[in-house]
Amino acid sequence: RDRRPAFHYDAVSGVVRQSYPRMWMLGGGFKGAAGANVYRGEIAFYHTEDTEGKDAGVQNASLKYLLGLDKTLGGNKNASVQFGQEHFMDYGAYYASLPQGAPSMKKAQTFASIRLSDMWKYQTIKPKIFLLYNFSERDYFVNGEYERSLSDDLTAAFGINLFGGKKPHT
């Protein structure tokens, strides 16, 4: 089952019903090292219950891929960069099935992310930052975290999540 809920609106009763449609996925990936760099990639085809893309409430079948690079910057500093896309199948049928005035997803979603991490003071302090930008929707997510080991059995952490974008439904 798809972990993303599908929503169905019954115009007669005014009731919104939630379901988790069936889906299957076929994919693969690779990973390789070259010096201090690790390259990786994944590709997957997601097939959903709405094979013709006519139900706006059910995620269309899609093809997704992700390419990434992990690099040690020296000492305990690490950086990770990812680029990915998701292409929706039967987009015309999906678009035609949308209720009038409803926001639509783009045919292709394109995103990039960066993760930076470090470890200080005998690896007891671990600052991290993660940035994700969706080029298609022009929105972003930033997650900063500071973790400190107070003892072998106790760790304290605090962080912040920032969301934003240029569109009203972001």
For 41-99, write each residue's pLDDT tens digit: 999 998 887 666 666 677 788 899 999 999 998 889 999 999 999 998 888 888 887 77
Taking CA atoms, 120 is separated from 55, 131, 157, in Å, by 51, 21, 15
Single pTM value for the model: 0.76
- pLDDT level of residue 2 (50, 70, 90 thresholds): low
Within 13 Å, how many C-alpha atoms sit on residue 25's CB side?
13
- pLDDT level of residue 155 (50, 70, 90 thresholds): very high
- pLDDT level of residue 111 (50, 70, 90 thresholds): very high
Q: What is the mean pLDDT of the chain?
A: 87
Place of tokens 């600052």: 127
- Does residue 3 surpass a pLDDT of 70? no
Taking CA atoms, 134 is separated from 8, 85, 126, 131, 151, in Å, by 26, 10, 27, 10, 39
* pLDDT the model gives residue 8: 67
Minimum mean pLDDT among 3-12, 45-54, 149-158: which range? 3-12
Separation CA 77–CA 90 (nearest Å): 43
Interval 156-166: pLDDT, tens: 999 999 999 88
SS3 category, 153:
coil
- Does residue 121 surpass a pLDDT of 80? yes
- pLDDT level of residue 7 (50, 70, 90 thresholds): confident
- pLDDT level of residue 143 (50, 70, 90 thresholds): very high
